[in-house]
Chains A and B, each alone.
Chain A
Amino acid sequence: MPTEWKLFADLAERAGDKHVTVDAGAGDTVGAALTELVDDRPDLEGRVLTDDGELRSQINVLRNGTNVLVEEEGLETELEEGDELALFPPVSGG
């Protein structure tokens, strides 16, 4: 069962789309879904990952509205059936 990424602001522009579906699904990790997302998207990869492949500090990853870096196991968080993932830069409302 595939998983959908929602992308926002300049990350969507770099990816060329606001929605990207990846093959990673239940039992895989958020990190695996991220690797698949940035594969073939070097502009997005450079924006969200450091040269060492670590997630840049200002990038947010949400799983079903919950920040996986703060409230879950980060990129090791395991996906469940039908999860919605979101990737976005620092928020800038107001």
Chain B
Amino acid sequence: MYVLGICDRGADRDAVKRAVDRTVDCLERRGRVGVVSYDATIADGQAIHESNVVGGDVSYELGADGDWAASGTGLNVANALDRLAVECEYAVVTGISDLRYPTVLIGDRASDHSDDDVLAAVDAPGDLDVDAVADALEETEPHRTLESLVARVKRSPNADRSGAIATFTGRVRAKDDPDDARTEYLEFEKYEGVADERMAALEADLEEREGVLEVELHHRTGVVRDGEDIVFVVVLAGHRTEAFRTVEDGINRLKDEVPLFKKEVTVDDEFWVHERT
């Protein structure tokens, strides 16, 4: 799922809404779109919409043809995106000013930025070339979660021959030892193009194995914070033995073969990991 932020830079509420509408209309022609609106004025358990459901911390209202509405407590933007990633190809986020995703800026202060993540900066929503934004968005790093990759392999045309899914998740370890200085984040640098080619070749190579039906590899780049997930290996296979083996070989080969470089930042130090091992 590709995530796009639409941010106000001096535009009024209606202008932002029009930019969101135009962008969502365009993306919907390409795939399923989720929209996340953040509003800090909603607080203290105040429900966003009038609900017919009485009680419950999370409630769903469902219709006969699959239409639904939901409300609840205890969800943040990151969690909402993780949930959408399972079933959407695109997500549009509004109401956040410093999102860690590609963004479109709207308003008279839009052009005043120096951020590589900005895909377009326009005064008014009508100036937005939504197709160009959508094309640029598809060149960015998609948001993937373990659940979204599992859902993807389950949709495989080969899924009816599968009796097993095995997965590996690599995450940021705060400490190796209780006395260690706490790791705040890792920052991954990637050899653009070559890293993706190697990952695709590795997937194809593993999928050649007898009984292995689908392999998905995903590695985040940039800053990944303490406790967050870094890398996923998901294998759809006929039986558990080849699923387990392929997951293990997949992560080991990814770590050996793909040109990615890890800088570790702890509370009192900063270093390239290959220089310490």
Contact = CB atoms under 8 A, between A and B. Distances in A.
Nearest to A62: B194
Interface string B249-277: 00100111111111100000000111101
B260 A91 contact: yes
Contacts of A58: 274
B259 A91 contact: yes
Contacts, number: 67
Contacts of A33: none
- Chain A interface mostly helix, strand, loop or mixed? loop
B259 A88 contact: yes
B244 interface: no
A93 B258 contact: yes
Contacts of B188: 93
A10 B272 CA distance: 7
Given A8-B261, A9-B189, A91 B256 contact: yes
Given A9-B272, A10-B272, A92 B191 contact: no
Nearest to A6: B191
A9 B219 CA distance: 17
Interface residues of A, number: 16
A12 to B, nearest CB: 8
Nearest to B230: A94
B261 A91 contact: yes
Contacts of B126: none
A64 to B, nearest CB: 9
A32 to B, nearest CB: 22
Nearest to B255: A94
B126 to A, nearest CB: 38
Contacts of B230: 94
A73 B260 CA distance: 24
Interface in B172-195: 188-189, 191, 193-194
Contact of B261 (A6, A62, A65, A89): A89
Contacts of B189: 8-9
Given A65-B194, A94-B251, 6 more contacts: A9-B263, A88-B259, A91-B256, A91-B261, A92-B277, A94-B254
10 tightest A-B contacts by CB? A93-B260, A9-B261, A94-B255, A92-B262, A65-B194, A90-B274, A92-B273, A92-B274, A10-B272, A94-B170
